[in-house]
Structure 1
């Protein structure tokens, strides 16, 4: 009896030590997991603090930025716009502004009360999001990846700028706010189509030039006037138009006069067989210059965005040289 009892006692003692060791191992594992969780949470907090910092924004022309409507719009904005999180604006923050960032630190700047851009014309294509009409404008500056969306269906105008990815659907939250607080009766009116103020004689030779031009010019596609609303169609009567999303249009008008800025001896740019004069005066907010062909019986004017590329003038020059009569001065 004593012998069996001794064995039993030893077995109980061994089992007890095993349970203690297992409990210790489980406890150590739990502590390790908790430690890892704390480390990960701490790391995320540190990353968030370094990534989701307020956006620095300088002053720009925003005549209605300090209006009560802009105050209401800024105060009612959603915490997120797609992948972007509200992070605020560094002090001193301009009136009517909000700042967002995505997980990579890319900035998104929102400004209320700005002027409608010069790119907003009868030819502009707008998109709807959140009950608001949005005009997308791509920065034509070489090396820039900035895109700005302007609300043009209500007043005041809101501009949303980022160099990151932003879909129209991501603007729905802002659109709901601008359409709720804004005034659609005072929405900005689109400006005239480029070159619409230039009288054009036209004629068979000019028609031949237009017919010789391609349906596409780089990223630009030619517009069929029959697909436009009556006001837009009237605005481009006598012109050929090519458009690209987010960019100002390419507009050609044949049989025009030379601009007041042209003087004898002015610097010309030769493109194949056609010399061109560039009128460098730009409309407010526009990045398109106007080029005038020289040395032919009819003068062709081309409104050419900064980022349209040389292929446009090359194609137009070929059509001019094939269809217009050269002048003696050439």
Structure 2
């Protein structure tokens, strides 16, 4: 009976293991195909990344600059200690002929970040300059005031040799918000022991006074606390009081300095070209200090001559306000 029940009935399909074997083979083939596809895609992506990296992380071209200490042993040590990466920036080569004491980085978008060791302290470094500490090193931010430029350079000022780091920034953005200066700062702090650079005196403080000038008290009292982004300061960064001049500062910029009761510069002569700003004629002394983007203007025709030192890109903001104060507080002489 049992044997009869086990017999296959006529017309019924034959029962074998062929179906399960076929299904197993199909699954194996599918898995292999998926693995090969993943390997292929990974290889394509890896190749694409290599190609992109070669096109993005290219060498940076850097021209020569005044860097008297670039070939010093300290600069060699600093460059050797620089990090391979900082934030999104990766160390890259420099196009030959490469300047001495230089290094370069690029980010994933191709933006450049350059490092120059052994440069001179910037002309913008004065007794009212504010510094920021990163990686045990004090940094001074100097934004390029040239119209259309997006460059910002940060100078190490804790010791010598001085290192300059330059990169591009969006308007109103500080370079240290997109680039970590900690690794670069540590490389400098660990390999320098020279004296820190000495800050410069404020502009206009060396001008001769005009002893015959009328009192400047009313004019000085009327000066504003701010000019746009500039805020008035009454002490140096060392805490010493500022006397004889009025000073306004802004991040990354040279100060605005005003002094009343000065003599005219040697460059001025009768018939010199003047610029009328509202009711006040101004004479511009076109001689710029080395590395500085600040010019000096002299207001004429009133009881006292007023000199203003200011970055060239803020003249349209500052001079009209100063002109108004002069016209309101001084007697017009017409001279």
Task: Please give the range of the TM-score, normalised by the shorter of the 2 chains.
Answer: over 0.9
Question: Which residue does the alignment assign to 1:82?
Answer: 87
Q: Secondary structure at the match of 1:178?
A: helix
2:286 to 261, 280, 290: 280
Contact 2:120 2:162 in 1 (8 A): yes
**Distance apart, 1:207 and its partner CA:** 2.2
Gaps of 5+ in 1: none
**Distance apart, 1:166 and its partner CA:** 2.9
Residues 123-134 of structure 1 correspond to what in structure 2 (within 5 A)?
123-134=128-139
Question: Which residue does the alignment assign to 1:145?
Answer: 150
1:109 to 106, 114, 119: 114
Contact 1:205 1:323 in 2 (8 A): no
Contact 1:200 1:253 in 2 (8 A): no
**Distance apart, 1:4 and its partner CA:** 6.8
Q: Secondary structure at the match of 1:3?
A: coil
Question: Which residue does the alignment assign to 2:56?
Answer: 51
Question: Which residue does the alignment assign to 1:100?
Answer: 105
2:238 to 222, 229, 234: 229
Contact 2:214 2:304 in 1 (8 A): no
**Distance apart, 1:279 and its partner CA:** 0.4
**Distance apart, 1:141 and its partner CA:** 0.6
Question: Which residue does the alignment assign to 2:322?
Answer: 316
Question: Which residue does the alignment assign to 2:40?
Answer: 35
Question: Which residue does the alignment assign to 2:267?
Answer: 261
The alpha-carbon distance between structure 1 residues 6 and 277, as it changes in their structure 2 partners (threshold 3 A), is farther
Gaps of 5+ in 2: 1-5
Alpha-carbon distance in 2 for matches of 1:71, 1:197: 39
Alpha-carbon distance in 1 for matches of 2:333, 2:224: 25
Alpha-carbon distance in 1 for matches of 2:11, 2:66: 94
Question: Which residue does the alignment assign to 1:3?
Answer: 8
Residues 301-312 of structure 1 correspond to what in structure 2 (within 5 A)?
301-312=307-318
**Distance apart, 1:95 and its partner CA:** 0.6
Alpha-carbon distance in 2 for matches of 1:135, 1:328: 43
TM-score by length of 1: 0.93
**Distance apart, 1:163 and its partner CA:** 0.7
**Distance apart, 1:5 and its partner CA:** 12
Q: Secondary structure at the match of 1:307?
A: helix
TM-score by length of 2: 0.91
Larger Rg: 2
The alpha-carbon distance between structure 1 residues 188 and 141, as it changes in their structure 2 partners (threshold 3 A), is same
Q: Does 1:206 align with 2:216?
A: yes
Alpha-carbon distance in 2 for matches of 1:198, 1:187: 27
Q: Does 1:174 align with 2:184?
A: yes
The alpha-carbon distance between structure 1 residues 6 and 149, as it changes in their structure 2 partners (threshold 3 A), is farther
Q: Does 1:218 align with 2:228?
A: yes
Question: Which residue does the alignment assign to 2:3?
Answer: none
Q: Does 1:239 align with 2:239?
A: no
Alpha-carbon distance in 1 for matches of 2:141, 2:245: 23
Alpha-carbon distance in 1 for matches of 2:102, 2:321: 44
Question: Which residue does the alignment assign to 1:194?
Answer: 203
CA RMSD in angstroms comes to 2.1
